[in-house]
Amino acid sequence: MPGYTFTVGADQDAWNCLGRFTRGYIQALFHHACTVPYAVALEEPEATSNLPATVGFSDLSQASLKRIMQDCEAFQVANAEALSRAYLHRRFLEPNSPMQYCPSNAGRDFYGSRNGVEGIGYLEACLGETSEALHLAAWRKGNVFVRLTRGKVIVS
């Protein structure tokens, strides 16, 4: 997304310990929270973002990281069969350039579907019937809200 570049910062080891699904989810969260929020953008095209473009993974509170990890793990366990089907799909992002759908895509789409972010989410992934099943499962998890408090990114 324009105007924001995701950074890991000093916590490279912690980042490397996360699964690809969780990393995709976190990247989507920061890209969305550091650019114009979707709901606001529909009504106010010049709206500002929730977070400054200078924050990244190392600014995420430990409690928020723990919650994200639990949410991602629970979603993957509850939807293992549908995710397995999704990983069999190839996506054509450019003509003659197939790319396998992978856990980082699925993590990003989990964030997008649960928060109604335009342009990302399982419905955008074109995974056939699997898209709808995963989208509904993510949507049922409800929105997460992101804010900056005392220099830490809080997800609730």
Distance CA 34, CA 28 (A): 10
Residue 3 located in a structural domain: no
The span from the CA of 25 to the CA of 138, in Å, is 12
The DSSP element (H or E) to which 154 belongs, if any, is strand 152-155
Say what the pTM is: 0.86
Range of the domain at 54: 12-155
Is 38 within the bounds of a domain? yes
Q: What is the chain's pLDDT, residue by residue, as a tens digit (156 residues)?
A: 456 788 898 889 999 999 999 999 999 999 888 875 544 544 554 445 577 878 899 999 999 999 999 999 999 999 999 999 999 886 655 555 567 889 999 999 999 999 988 888 999 888 888 999 999 999 999 999 888 889 899 998
134, 122 in Cβ contact below 8 A? yes
Task: List phi, psi (to 5°) of 17.
Answer: -80, -15
Considering the domain boundaries, does residue 27 fall inside one?
Answer: yes
Residue 22 belongs to a domain = yes
Number of domains the chain contains: 1
Q: Is residue 5 part of a domain?
A: no
